[in-house]
Structure formats: structure tokens, C-alpha cells
Copies of this chain bind each other. A is one copy, B any other.
Amino acid sequence: MKPTIFHLELSLAEARTAIAERIAPLEQECIPLTEALARVCAAFVFAARPSPSCDQSARDGFALATQPLFADQAVAAFHISGEIAAGCTEQKRLAPGQAFRIMTGAAIPTGTARVVPFEVCQEKDGKVLVPLAELARKQLHIRRQGCEVQTGQLLAAARTRLLPDHLLLLAENGCEEIVVHRQPRVAVICTGTELTQAGEPLLPGCKISGNGALLAALLQTQHCTCICCLTVEDNAERITALIEQIIDRDQPDLLISTGGMGPGTFDLTEQVFARLGGVSVYNRLRVRPGRSTLFGLLDKVPFFGLPGPPPAVRLLFHELVAPAIVRLHGEEHSGGMLKKAILDGPALLSQADCTVLKGAVARVDEEGRLRVRLADRLEPLNAILHLNGEEGELVSVRLIGPLA
């Protein structure tokens, strides 16, 4: 029996909210810091030690005692009593009248008043002569213990994606492991009797499936593991069996299907979803392309039923699937807020009751303004234009790649 399907229609913004409400961050795991790039912190990490770990010289120069050996009206003289290289682990001590040659990053000896760079000093007969003016400067050329990071300071907040800058801070603070959220494992099913696998002969009326390659690549850019990417014909029993098998065997954190989302006889995704006990959150959107698209939970597994045409798959992935993945990753800020940009080219038709999405290319002009134009048909996108029926000079765009 074909299950009855009710229409649950949402706007794009409502859909994004509804998805976010139903997806929780994946469980935590502890991994080596060396593998943590682009993973999402599951806990607040605070500094275990100060940085620098002790008072250090900020220059190659002389560490001078508070009192010179002698001084005239122009210069003060100090006896050069030794040298401290960076990495010297012995805590040295300056007696009055003494100076040590000291290198950038080396620990300041006890009794140091200031460091004076080599280039303003003069060496003579085992002494260093320093102009008096240098001894009056405010700049001591000493980096104080903890001036960069103090013990207990926040190094990485929970629910933050770890960037190279975070890894630097964490590594310098002695962090070797970090607790992050697990990476999402995503399964992809491309439905369509017309789909031919790459390498198989292309029969008349058929097409080579590109959605699998597209989604696998998009998932990779979102730091997911694509656990499988299967093609299946428009046959409700086969699609049902395939989904059951994937859920049982692979336990995906997210399932994405393409195709089979129209009102036609062979559009089976909703039917299969309902038959499997799936609970729809929406099955219609006030969005073009994407009017017929489904999101729901299938035995707790989030499920996106995307349309078949790859241009729609691409746009809806960025608008709906990517923020869901961000939530699974545990990231707090999904980023990708809509921005305002100047539209280059003629005004575009939009619909009052619906968001029209268009693939676009954004750039910053010579005056520092964000500008956007429609992408050519085969051109890679870096932005998605949102037409909402209320356009002035500025349009709304979502940036999805580096600016041209």
C-alpha cells in the first residue's frame, strides 16, 4: 500500500532552523593534536603554562645589570661576564657592573635592568659601552613571562573548528591530544533507472551519474567521510532494501539521496521514506530549485531527499546539507551567513512567495565592495545568490568559496 503523504512546506530559513533543531553533535573522541586540523573542539582548552615560560630577551644584545661598572657624561660601561644563548637552561645572575651577551629568546639573568641591542653598543677591552640615552629608554627589550599566554587563559573554545592558528597555540602550550567531536560518516544513494556508472556502456536514454562524484567531493570539503555512494534504479523494493542495508551495516550519521523527489509515478523517495517509518520535517520548500525536497529522521538518522538535477543538488547541499554537517561536527557557528552584495548585470526576476537560488561568482572590487554576477553554465561557483522578491541595489549572497 502506498502510504499517504502530507505536505509539510517550509521556507528556506525555516528549513535551516528545523534541521538544526533535530541534529546533535556527534560523540567525543580524543585524538593526537597532529590530526586535529579542521576538527571541532568538544571542550574548552585552557593554557596549562605561561608563554613565554620565563622573562626572555626580545633582541640579540647585552643584558645589563642595574648598576654600571662606571659612567661618564655620554656612556656607561659594563664588564662582559659571559654569554647566554637561547636554550641555555642554567639561570644566570648578573652582579652590579656586569653584562651578559644575550640572544633573542634566551632567559633573562637575575639582576637584569634591561637588554640593549648589539647595534647601539660598543665593545672595548672586555667591556661594553652603552650610550646613556639607551639606559633611559622605556623599551626594555624584555618579553615578560606570560605576556603572550597566561596560565588558565582560553586557547580554544568548545564547538570551535580548529585552524592552524589554534594548533600553534595548543602545541606551544604542550598540548599533545585534544578532545573533538567525531567526524560525520555519510552515505549517498543516487536513484534513477537512467543512471549509468562510469565505465559501463552508455545506452540510449541513459546518463552517466555525476551526483555521486559531486556529493563525494562536497562531503570531502566538509570534512566528512563518505562511507558509500551507491546507484539504484527507480524501484521501491530495491531502494527500501538498500537504505535498510546501509543503516544496519554502515550506521551512517547522515543519509543523502538524489532523485525520485517529484510527483511522478517513478518518484519513489518519499514513499520509501514513509514506508521505512521515516518522520518528515519538511517535504516541500518555498525554494527554486528545490521545491520537492525532503528532510526527516529515519530511525534517528537524518535523511535528505534531494532532487535529481545536479545544479539543484549543488545549491541545496550548500544551503541545507552543509549546515546540518556543521551541526554534526559540533561546530557552534555555521558561518556562511547571508551577505549583501552589488549585483553586476541586469536585475533578476524573483518570486514573492519563494526564494530563488542562483549559482554565482562573487568578487571584491577596487573600492572594497562585494559584487556578484550569475555564474556561466559550466563555471565553478563561489557564491549562491538569493532572490527573495524584494531586491534593491543590493542582493543577498551566501559565500561558498574563496573570493575571485
Contacts and interface: CB of A to CB of B under 8 A. Distances in A.
Interface of A: 33-34, 37, 49, 51-54, 60, 85-91, 103-107, 118, 148-149, 153-155, 163-176, 192-195, 198-199, 202-214, 216-218, 220-221, 233-234, 262-267, 308, 310, 314, 335-336, 339-342, 364-371, 377-381, 394, 399, 401-404
Contact of A266 (B85, B203, B265, B342): B85
B204 A89 contact: yes
Given A87-B206, A103-B266, A364-B370, 10 more contacts: A54-B205, A60-B262, A60-B263, A103-B264, A104-B262, A163-B217, A168-B314, A176-B198, A341-B368, A399-B402
Copies of this chain, tallied across the complex: 2
A390 to B, nearest CB: 15
A380 B167 CA distance: 10
Contacts of A199: 176
B369 A172 contact: no
Given A37-B221, A234-B87, A366 B340 contact: yes
A204 B105 CA distance: 12
A202 to B, nearest CB: 6
Contacts of A148: 377
A352 to B, nearest CB: 21
B368 A37 contact: no
Contacts of A204: 53-54, 89-91, 107
Best-buried of A88, A154, A209 by chain B (most CB within 10 Å): A88
5 contacts: A85-B193, A104-B262, A105-B192, A171-B209, A335-B402
Given A194-B86, A335-B402, A401-B163, A213 B342 contact: no
A153 B377 CA distance: 12
Contacts of A205: 54, 86-91, 106-107
A384 B63 CA distance: 34
A388 to B, nearest CB: 16
B171 A212 contact: yes
Contacts of A380: 163, 165-166
A213 B339 contact: no
A210 B51 CA distance: 11
A206 B52 CA distance: 9
Nearest to A370: B368
B164 A218 contact: yes
Contact of A207 (B51, B118, B155, B341): B51
Given A51-B207, A207-B53, A149 B87 contact: no
A143 to B, nearest CB: 10
A264 B107 contact: no
A377 to B, nearest CB: 7
Contacts of A193: 85-88
A250 B333 CA distance: 41
Contacts of A87: 192-195, 205-206, 233-234
